[in-house]
Structure 1
Amino acid sequence: MNPITVEIVRNGLISAAEEMNAMLIRSAFTPIIYEMKDCAVAILDRDHKVLGQSSGLPIFLGNLEICSEYTERKFGKRVWREGDIWALNDTYVVGTHLNDVSVYAPIFFKRELFGFAVSRAHWLDIGGKDPGQSFDSTEIFQEGLRLPPTRVVIEGQINPDVVDIIEANTRLPKGVIGDLKAQIAAANVGSRRIVELLEKFGADVVEKAKEIIFDQTESFERAAIEAIPDGKYSAEGYVDDDGLGNGPLYVKMTVAVEGSDIEIDVTEASDQTLGPINSGKSQTVSACRVGFKYLFASDKPVNGGSFRSLAVKVREGSFLACTSPAAANWYFSSLGLQIDLLARALAHAIPNTVTAADYGDSNPVIMSGTDPRSKSIFIDFECHVGGWGAFRGQDGVSALINKVNGGLKDIPIEVCETRYPLRIREYSLRSDSGGAGEWRGGCGINKTYEMLSDQCAAGFWWERSVTPAWGLFGGKDGKPPSVTVKSSLSGEIKCLKANGIKLKSGDLIECRSGGGGGYGPPSLRDRRAIEEDIADGFITVEGAIQDYGYKPTP
């Protein structure tokens, strides 16, 4: 087949996904989508294989197809009708927390099913016992409205019964229904662009190009794996706890390489636990795929040819493959650890490719209550950046979102202070938080919130203190995170995980995110690089003396 045609089709599919993502972000009602971009989209073929996926949250890599696949398995192929759009958020199907809602539409061309347009986005409130999300839930029923595959649009018309159910189960009906409609609009845009592509080239040409694209992707990934010596590799680590004092929770990863095939085994993991740190199996598989993609053919987009060389083994009933009624609001804490464990396991096999560990977790803070300006409820959900690990020849990046979240962005200070009764008192680099090394780990950040409401509460879910961001080949670990609440009601509280701490106007939340691990012995770091780090604020003079044996010029 003409390679130029193949490339045009390839980019047409990716472009359709990117336009879907742009439509979703621009149409969304809540900052968690239109500012933070907590969403991802994909175009699938009729066999539920990825044709094109936009930039977004990497943790949904090769995972969005579960929605249409499960629906078809449950109801049969005849369930798909032109003009219908579905929604699904069941944790035990898609693996995520209930706030991550997938909306997907079948794409028809000349009355034949061609594929699907799917998006997943975080709804700011889906019910549950606490505003936004709970940090101490013990079962899925406390975490919000659970949707099995549900038609939200029937033959082109939005289903009012489903909308009424969703509105009755959220504290933010206007924002949530607005975000639902933004996802519906994204599905319609994706469907239209694919139909236009099919009209231009014909279904046969697109199908043939698809197979070539899939085979190319597979060959790139297999060639990268073949460069690794055959054998078994392993690494282990811990997540801190489940938010209720149970932990730490153990994860051992064993990686088997044979020719161009690789198997990742995480069956040796702690059992599912009472608190909301459990993850659905499909997200654990996705985490292994993300780690795989960071190391192998990372410059090639994800599609149906990806991960053919990868097998993942997970033990059902572990906290990485939980079963009902396990709580799973903060399912992603173990996922960042697994991504880093894969690099650690393969470090000696591919030392020029791997990085030291990053700060590991999204570090969410949820602040909610009554806004005194409007007398209405507010819910502010924010994730926090930190330090990434160093690698051969390069320091780690500072103040970057973790590997799980990829394209996630900060909510700008101006937006935060305008929309919510909050003031940001400090936002700066956390000096000396990156692990020392020949190449230094990236720095975390300092961020301080001041409450401007007498009726508000806050919850936190910060991770990676038991197993902080480790260094490689003599590099030192990054500093772990810390959170300090200065409350006029309860005094000073130091905690990494908490739920519903009552706050009043003037109270402070001081957040310190972790740094990334260093790479190589600190004694080998160039003196000029140390002095530049001091000038730039990455390290202090005291830190340079302690970590590098630096001797200031008299």
Structure 2
Amino acid sequence: MNVMTKTVAAQEVDPITLQVIRGSFETIAEEMGHVLYRMSFSSIIRESQDLGAGLFDTDYNTLCESESTPMHIGSIPGYLRGIEETLEDGEWYEGDVVVHNHPYHGASHTPDLAIVVPVFYEGRLVGFAGNTAHHVDIGAATPGLIIDVPDVYAEGMLLAGVKLYRKGRANTAMWNFIRNNSRAAQQLVSDIEAQVASARLGARRFVELIEKYGEEVVFGAANQLMAYSERMTRQRLTEIPDGEYVAEGWLDDDGRNRDRQLKVKVTVRVSGDEVEVDLTGSADQTPTAYNVPFEGSTKVAAYAAFRKLLLDTATSDIRVPSNEGSFRPVKVTAPLGSIFNPRAPASAEARFTQCNRMIDLIIRALAPVLPEQVIAGSSASISFAAYSGVRPSGEYWVFLEVNEGAYGGRPRSDGPDAIDNLMANTRNNPLEDLAMHIPMICDRYELRDDVPPGAGEFRGGIGVVKAQRVLTPGFITHESERHTEAPWGIFGGHDGEVGKCLLYNTDAPDDPAQEMHSKFSGLEVRANDVMAYYSPNGGGFGDPLNRPAQKVLEDVLDGFVPLDQARDAYGVIIDLAEETVDLEATNRQREKLRKKQ
């Protein structure tokens, strides 16, 4: 890119000013995120907050990020590098606004549109303000979500370094193109406008910060903060013994070839204050959209995994800023042509569950050497469903939903129930919002009660069951996982339970429910068809015989644990009529079970 830039001399910033600027960066990123989701129209952004926002320097380093979805904000440097390769005009101007989503030019996947605004100060490019958000429909082969398609061109609009505004003037032709190539045009355009407002706000706040403290001080502070995050990450990495740690698992299928499971193999190599995540040995790329863009998603999932393990704000004594520094000690390797690094033009839109399982396996690989930091197997499934139909007016309605899962048991507590986990951090959609805008109704939404969570001293979390009914004929596409391999138990804990998905019709109550695969595309459904999704239950942590009997009693009374599991896994004998524990019988049963271990 031919732009005027200036190398800013490094300046040591005093501790007080450093913390003030750190707070300013974090506030700007949060404000950008708030503007984006509060101005958006689609529920996937407005309610689920499937988005990320932040500020970046001209080397594409992340200076700050909103506290939203890690997979979004960690990917924006990849978008910026892709924009550098493809930028319209080949040059940035004040007033430019760029949209980008090409998965072979750094994007996380095509529905995640990035909006980037250049930040100019005294006529020079000094940085960028950007955000990404998941959009309802970008004109793909099936509404809202795709799985079984032949290549990237079936994913919908591919936008690479395209200027929506050039020198402040709207590119009307491009706006019309976007509007005319989406089934949910008004939502798409309105949500992009919200992204533009968010990015412009970030750029303005960035300039205000520089005007207040000076360019050298602001960027000096940014460099110090990144160096601090890097230093703290490296320090935590040195606590892991050097070595090679391996874990592997199996994905159900690629959404087309039902008899072929897909291997995920993770090798974690720790050497001093650096770590490599090597995915060699994982499945070859698939002929469907069930692949993962390397720059925008595979690498970002690895970064997210180590931030969770080493820098979690709830378990760390020191709060480490979320910026580029935490990425630098982490190297990611995936062979070209594999599921985690596909060759163009393979489709790579349906990349949710593979990233989740990758993080789950990184945790499993490191469990022997990080017993106080890891958790047991989580659902790691990311049930992502797209419901759609055509209104009498001829207009499409499209609704995207991320269903909750469950975490595995933890070193000091049970796994959380019914929560998005590992890579996403998205929120659920209020049922009232659904009924107000979409011809659908939720028949059931509660904790799963057909199977128990993984037994352990700290039991696994309980998944969700959600039954969504369409009121008109329509279509459903669904991507999830773990219908064949249960979340793993650890340190004596038992495995959790696999997920399932059922389809039935309330007008035909005598017809048997159809059990669906974990992934299916463009399924045509009738009025009053119901998709009932049961997310996996988490694995248990620690020997179940060490769980206090009173806690087992409470789980039984709450309906989380059946009497036979209380007896056979936990060794607890319960008098259900009296709602009490028979302590003598429990001691005998536990002694009997310990002898069998």
Say which one has the larger Rg.
2
Q: Which amino acid aligns with 1:302?
A: S
**Match of 1:291?**
305
Task: Write the mapping of 1:81-120 to structure 2, written as runs, cut at 5 A.
Answer: 81-120=93-132
Deviation of 1:548 after TM superposition, in Å, equals 2.3
Find the aligned partners of 1:57 and 1:258 in 2 and give their Cα distance.
29
Asked if structure 2 preserves the Cα contact closer than 8 Å seen for 1:371 and 1:420, the reply is: no
5+ residue gaps, structure 2, are 1-12, 314-319, 578-597
Give distance in 2, aligned partners of 1:507 and 1:464.
24
Check if 1:473 corresponds to 2:473. Answer: no
Post-superposition offset of 1:95: 4.5
Verify: 1:438 aligned to 2:451, yes or no: no
Q: In 2, distance between residues paired with 1:147 and 1:78?
A: 15
2:361 to 341, 355, 374: 341
| 1:546 to partner: Cα distance | 4.3
Report the Cα distance in structure 1 between the residues aligned to 2:541 and 2:480, rounded to whole angstroms: 24
SS of the residue 2:569 aligns to: helix
**1:505–1:72 CA distance, 2 compared to 1 (3 A):** closer
TM-fit CA distance, 1:112? 1.4
Which piece of structure 1 moves more, 424-433 or 106-115? 424-433
1:458 and 2:476 are equivalent in the alignment: yes
Indicate the residue corresponding to 2:378 in structure 1.
358
2:436 aligned with 1:415: no
Matches within 5 A, 1:270-349: 270-282=283-295, 283-299=297-313, 300-349=320-369
Is 2:84–2:161's contact at 8 Å kept on the other side of the alignment?
Answer: no
- Structure 2 CA distance for aligned equivalents of residues 424 and 81 of structure 1: 48
Seq. identity, %: 32
**Cα distance in 1 for residues equivalent to 2:476 and 2:82:** 36
SS in 2 for 1:450: strand
CA distance in 2: counterparts of 1:75 and 1:144, whole angstroms: 20
Q: Distance in 2 between matches of 1:541 and 1:425?
A: 28
User: Superposition RMSD on alpha carbons, in Å?
Assistant: 1.8
Query: Which amino acid in structure 1 is aligned with residue 139 of structure 2?
Result: G
2:10 match: none
* 2-structure distance, mates of 1:147, 1:332: 21
> What is the CA–CA distance in structure 2 between the aligned matches of 1:549 and 1:417, rounded to whole Å?
45
Structure-2 change in CA distance of 1:13 and 1:526 (3 Å): same
Contact 2:303–2:326 (8 Å) recurs in 1: no
Task: Normalising by structure 1, report the TM-score.
Answer: 0.96
TM-score, scaled relative to structure 2: 0.89
In the TM superposition, residue 403 of structure 1 has moved relative to its aligned partner by 1.3
Offset at residue 301 of structure 1 (A): 3.0
Cα displacement string for residues 318-345 of structure 1 (whole angstroms, at most 9, x for unaligned residues): 0101122212221121101111111111
CA contact (8 A) 2:488 2:495 kept: yes
- Look up the equivalent residue of 2:24 and give its one-letter code: G
User: C-alpha deviations, 1:390-431, integer Å up to 9, x for none?
Assistant: 11111100010021111x111100001111111111111113
Give the whole-Å Cα distance in 1 for the aligned partners of 2:289 and 2:485.
19
Question: Distance in 2 between the 1:147 and 1:394 partners?
Answer: 45
Would you say the 8 A contact 2:72–2:108 is kept in 1? no
Partner of 1:201: 213
Q: Is the 8 A contact 2:183 2:397 kept in 1?
A: no
1:21-170 equivalent positions in 2, closer than 5 A:
21-74=33-86, 79-170=91-182
**1:257: Cα distance to partner?**
1.2
Mapped to 2, the partners of 1:514 and 1:523 lie a distance apart of 23
Matches of 2:102 and 2:150 in 1, distance apart? 16
Which stretch of the first structure deviates more once superposed, 53-62 or 380-389? 53-62
1:238 and 1:467 in contact (8 A); partners too: yes
> 1:510, CA displacement in angstroms?
1.5
Alignment check: 8 A CA contact 2:78 2:107 kept: no
Secondary structure of 2:389's partner?
strand
2:513 corresponds to? 492
Q: 1:162 to 1:245 in 2, by over 3 A?
A: same
Q: 374, 396, 399: which one pairs with 2:415?
A: 396
**Mapped partners of 1:67, 1:397: distance in 2:** 33
Equivalent residue in structure 2 for 1:551, among 551, 560, 573: 573
Sort the Cα spacing of 1:546 and 1:355 in 2 relative to 1 into closer, same or farther, 3 A.
same
- In the alignment, structure 1 residue 253 sits paired with structure 2 residue 275: no
Instruction: Give 1:463 shift.
Output: 0.3
